A and B are shown apart, each in its own frame.
Chain A
Amino acid sequence: MTEPPAGEAGVDDADLIARVGAGDQDALAVLYDRYGRPCFSLARRITADITFAEDVVQEVFLAVWRAPGKFDPGRGAFGSWLLAMTHHKAVDAVRREETLRRRRAESADGADAARQHDVPGVEDQVWTGLRGDRVRAALRGLPGVQREALGLAYFGGYTQREVAALTGAPLGTVKTRMLAGMRRLATLLGDVADSAGTADDEGALP
C-alpha cells in the first residue's frame, strides 16, 4: 500500500476525515495531496486516458467530501478504501465509455482485437513495470493464465464473462483461475512460502 508522504504536521487520515465531516475543505486538500497521485495513477492505468482518469479522481474525492462517514476506520486504512473506490469508479467509467466492447467480446474477432489491445498492455506496462520486489515476485509466481485473467479483470475492467470470451476459456474455468490466482497472490504477498511452486492452473484449492 502506498504510504502517504511525510509532512502535513503528522496529522493522521482519521483526523482529516473527521475534519472533512465538519466541512473543512483544507482537510480534503491534504488528503488529495497524500493520495491524489496513487489514485490518478490507478485510474489512468485502467482508463488509459488522462481526461477520464482526472474525472474519476474528481469523482472519488467529491464522494469523500459528500459523505466522509462512509469510510470506517475500523475496516482498514483510508488509502486502501480510496484505491478500492478509485478502481470501482474507473472500471465503471471504462464500461460506460466502451459499451461496444461488451458486444465485441462476444465475437472471436473482437476477442483477438481486445487481446492484442489489452493483454500486452497489462503484461508490458504493469506486471513488469511494478515497483517493489515483493509485488513483482508475487505476480511472477502466478501461472500465466491466472495472471492474465486477473489482469484483464482488474486493469482491463472486464467482467468474468468477458474474460472468458477474450481468453477462449469456459466461464467456470475463468472463475476458478481468478479464485486460485487471488488465493495464491494473497499467500505470496503475505510472504508465506508456497510449496506448490508453479502449480497447474486448475490445481486443488485450499
Chain B
Amino acid sequence: MNAPRDEHAEFDELAVGWALHALEPDDEESFAVHLRGCSRCTVTVQTTTGALTEIAGAIPEDEPPPGLRDRIMGAVAREPQETQPPQEAQQHRPPATPPPAIPPAATPSPAPGASTPAWRRGRVLAAAAAVLAVVVGLGVWNVVLQGDRDHQASLAQLYSRAVHDVTRPGVPRAQLTTAAGAPMATVVGGDDKLRVVTVRMPENDTRTSVYVLWGVPKHGSPTAIGTFDVTRDGINDTVVRSTNAGARFPAYAVSHEPGRQAPTRPSAVIASGTVSD
C-alpha cells in the first residue's frame, strides 16, 4: 500500500477482520483486549457488522427444511435456560462506549442460605466445566493449526492442577468472566498471596505492559492488589503477592495496563467476578 499509515491503521485492519470472523487465533485474542478500550475500533466493528448484515439480509432466501422448526422447538423443550442476569452483548458486539472502570460482575452472587458444601461443589464444578470447555476448544484449535499434542497435554496438566486448587473446600475463590460471560480467570485465596489461573488470556509484552489484579470493595474504588504477566498460550497459573496487607474483597477484576506498574485506577478491564467460598 502506498498511502501513509497512521499508527492505528493496523488496528483498523484487525477490526474489519474481527467483524468478518477472519482473524487468526492469536490476532483475535490480542485484538479482543485492544477492542475493549478503543472507541475507534468499536465504531469500525459496528460499521462493518452493519454493512455485512445488510448483505446477508439481501442474499436469495432458501426455505428451511420443514422439520427444522419442530427439531429446534424439541431441543428447546429439553434445554435449560441460564439463570444469569442479562449481560453485555456477545464478544463480537463490543460495548459502544469504553468499559466502565469495573464492569458489573457477570457472576451472580450466591443466594442467601445456599452456601452448603454440596452447592459450593456444584458451583465450582460448573465453573470448572465452563473452563474445561474453553480449554478443550483451545486444544482442538491447537491440534488443527499446529498439530501440537504436547502443548495440549501440558495444558490439560496445568488445568487439572488448577482445578484441584479451585475445588479445595474452604478457600475463597472468584471466577472472573468477560462482560460476555466467557471465563477468563479464577482467583483463589484472599490473604497475602492470591493464585490467579488465567485461561486463554492473551500474552502480554512483559517489557511494555502488565496485567493488574484489582480488589473490588462493596463501596468505593477498586484497589490494585498486584501485577502479573501472561507468558504462555492457554492456561497460566501465577501467584500474585498482595501489596495491601492481604485485605479481602467481595469481588476481583483484572485489567491490562500499559507500563509495568499498577495505575491508581484500572483502564482496560478484561474480566471481573464475585467471590464464593
Residues of chain A having any CB pair with chain B under 8 Å: 1-2, 21, 23, 25, 28-29, 32-33, 36-38, 40-42, 44-45, 50, 54, 57-58, 61-62, 65-72, 74-76, 79-81, 83-88, 91-92, 95, 99, 102, 126, 129-132, 135-136, 139, 150, 153-154, 157-161, 163, 172-173, 175-176, 178-179, 182, 185-186, 189, 202-205
Contacts and interface: CB of A to CB of B under 8 A. Distances in A.
B87 A76 contact: no
Interface string B81-100: 11011111110110110000
B220 interface: no
Given A1-B54, A54-B68, A70-B180, A61 B61 contact: no
Contact of B62 (A40, A139, A150, A154): A40
Interface of B: 1-3, 9, 12-14, 16-17, 19-24, 27, 46-65, 68-69, 71-73, 75-77, 79-82, 84-90, 92-93, 95-96, 144-145, 180-181
Contacts of B92: 84-85, 88
Contacts of A153: 17, 20-22
A51 to B, nearest CB: 9
B64 A182 contact: no
Interface on chain A toward B: helix, strand, loop, or mixed SS?
helix
What 7 pairs across the A-B complex have the smallest Cβ distances? Answer: A69-B86, A2-B57, A204-B3, A175-B13, A40-B64, A153-B22, A135-B58
A32 B48 CA distance: 25
B210 to A, nearest CB: 28
Contact of A38 (B57, B71, B89, B96): B57
Contact of B21 (A71, A91, A99, A178): A91
